[in-house]
Amino acid sequence: MRNITLGRTGITVPQNAFGALPIQRISTNDAVKLMRRAYDGGMRFFDTARAYSDSEEKVGLAFEGMRDKVYISSKTQATTKEKFWSDLETSLKLLKTDYLDIYQLHCVARCYGEGDDLYECMKEAKAQGKIRHIGITAHKIGVAEDIIASGLYETLQFPFSYLASDRDIKLVESCAKANMGFIAMKGLSGGLLTNSEACMAFMCEYDALPIWGIQRESELDEWLGFFERDITMTDEIKAFINNDRKELLGEFCRGCGYCMPCTVDITINQCARMSQMIRRAPSENWLTEHWQNEMMKIENCVDCGICKTRCPYELDIPNLLKKNLQDYKEILAGKEV
């Protein structure tokens, strides 16, 4: 397994890290068991956030008594200095630690710089020893480019998968030139990508640390398997990736959920990508009575536009929902998937 060093942080870990967002959905016992098994299998970097409900608490329980053996990053969505300090103290308490290896401003709308309260709080927290490195996450590439240009942050977390554009790839290269660690989120594009070997082979081409969102032991088994065998980009994998890119590139929902909640209760982050999901997973999973009812809620859309203002990818969500519903109805009527 290739190691990655996160720029000037000096943090060096296997290029195969644990994203702890999905463990919100499982019991505490199962989450602790999963993360300890991940550690035993070779993972050393674990990423969570204050916004991930009880994820921090579960991570804290998993690594109590062995804090020096793992790297833990967390995040705050604070927009005020008061909220920043409240979030940081809560994260430290729940994670059962007196420091975070990386603390990140979460899904920022702009680059916070010198003089901005949030960046000044980051510097003070580092001076106090409560955080060791200052990080930031973004979904909009223009914001991410501004962050790199600022030279103020030690790590950047940004969506990156084999669906990446040339501009996305340049972002990773710019981080390397700036001696800034690049943490790749959404390496599976919100579940659209299902070939873990292709995803891993792509990631190994870059100085990026992917945090794979893991909820089940079967998912963990796939990622731990790469500690046992080297993955390299082959002609066969390249062809597979090229075919996937032809099918998926364009206007597609990554399933991040920042558009939620919907004013008329549409499950936007699933319904807006139903056309892809139903073709990339066993279709019967998406044709149940439950999902039929969820999809029909799209007919209640009032075009309020709130979801559009929240989407970090600036998608035309109301029209995307309608396109997916039309395709779904045709599938229900017998169109071949």
Q: What integer pLDDT is reported at residue 191 of this predicted model? A: 83
Chain-wide mean pLDDT for the chain?
95
Q: What integer pLDDT is reported at residue 228 of this predicted model? A: 92
Q: What CA–CA distance (Å, rounded) separates 257 from 290? A: 19
Name the packing angle between helices 55-62 and 28-41 (round to 10°): 50
CB atoms within 10 A of CB 15: 20
Per residue in 32-86, pLDDT (tens digit) is 999 999 999 999 999 999 999 999 999 999 999 999 999 999 999 999 999 999 9
User: Rounded to two decimals, what is the model's pTM?
Assistant: 0.89
Q: What integer pLDDT is reported at residue 199 of this predicted model? A: 97
Could you give the domains of the chain? Answer: 3-240 (3.20.20.100), 268-332 (no CATH)
Q: What integer pLDDT is reported at residue 161 of this predicted model? A: 96
Per residue in 232-280, pLDDT (tens digit) is 999 999 999 999 998 887 777 888 888 999 999 999 999 999 998 898 7
Q: What CA–CA distance (Å, rounded) separates 146 from 170? A: 13
The single-letter code of the amino acid at 31 is: A
110: left (phi over 0), alpha (psi -120 to 50) or beta: beta
String of b and e for 147-157 (b: at least 16 CB within 10 Å)?
bbeeebbbbbb
Per residue in 145-192, pLDDT (tens digit) is 999 999 999 999 999 999 999 999 999 999 999 999 999 999 998 888
Interior CA angle at 147 toward 10 and 12, to 5°?
A: 15
